């Protein structure tokens, strides 16, 4: 039992929310799109509805799995290996794809914050007891935080690898120049 009490952890209540989440795909797409339009992210993102659907599914499926798998809040441990974390996996893959397309981390992270807010907005609409809503909100926040840590770690790792490759290239160039003279 944790600070949310014991009522939240019934498998039936968690399953009810998972069904609600699965049935809310359209609502989530409209919500994130509204945030993206309001804050000008649509200038830099796909306007195809299917792309938005895929991103919602990419977040909803692991969230549903995590809620079904455990009642424990996905904490942010100092020793957690985010590279091997199933929750962070989506963020890591998205970081690789978006970075390769030249998207800046501030743009990616900014829009991701609105994805998180969209899911938290959905939790607020859930028809359940307040203590369960608080639990689901906390679970959802930490779920998104783990994804965020995963993609930031991946982004930084890729930056370091690129920096190392650039230094190696510069060193080879300098060595070749030196050998020519």
The rounded distance, in Å, linking the Cα atoms of 131 and 137 is: 10
The rounded distance, in Å, linking the Cα atoms of 74 and 97 is: 25
pLDDT tens, residue by residue, 90-149:
889 988 888 888 889 999 999 999 999 999 999 999 999 999 999 999 999 999 999 999
Residue 79 CA, chain-centre distance (Å), reads: 19
The rounded distance, in Å, linking the Cα atoms of 162 and 165 is: 5
- Residue 79, classed as helix, strand or coil, is coil
The rounded distance, in Å, linking the Cα atoms of 32 and 30 is: 6
The rounded distance, in Å, linking the Cα atoms of 28 and 67 is: 18
- Residue 2, classed as helix, strand or coil, is strand
pLDDT tens, residue by residue, 19-69:
999 999 999 999 999 999 999 999 988 878 888 999 999 999 999 999 999
pTM, two decimal places: 0.83
**Type and span of the H or E element at 16:** helix 11-23
Residue 113 CA, chain-centre distance (Å), reads: 9
Predicted confidence at residue 169, as pLDDT, reads 57
The answer regarding whether domain 7-152 maps to CATH 1.10.490.10 reads yes
């Amino acid at each position: 039992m944790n600070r949310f009490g014991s009522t939240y952890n019934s498998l039936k209540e968690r399953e009810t929310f998972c069904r609600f989440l699965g049935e809310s795909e359209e609502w989530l797409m409209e919500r994130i799109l509204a945030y993206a339009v309001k804050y000008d992210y649509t200038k830099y993102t796909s306007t195809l509805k299917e792309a938005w659907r895929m991103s919602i599914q990419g977040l909803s499926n692991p969230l549903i799995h995590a809620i079904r798998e455990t009642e424990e809040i996905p904490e942010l441990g100092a020793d957690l290996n985010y590279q091997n974390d199933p929750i962070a996996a989506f963020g890591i893959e998205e970081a690789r794809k978006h970075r390769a397309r030249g998207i800046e981390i501030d743009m990616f992270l900014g829009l991701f914050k609105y994805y998180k807010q969209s899911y938290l907005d959905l939790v607020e609409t859930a028809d359940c007891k307040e203590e369960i809503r608080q639990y689901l909100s906390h679970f959802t926040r930490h779920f998104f935080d783990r994804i965020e840590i995963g993609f930031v770690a991946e982004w930084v790792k890729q930056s370091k690898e690129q920096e190392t490759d650039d230094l190696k290239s510069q060193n080879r160039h300098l060595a070749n120049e030196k050998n020519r003279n």
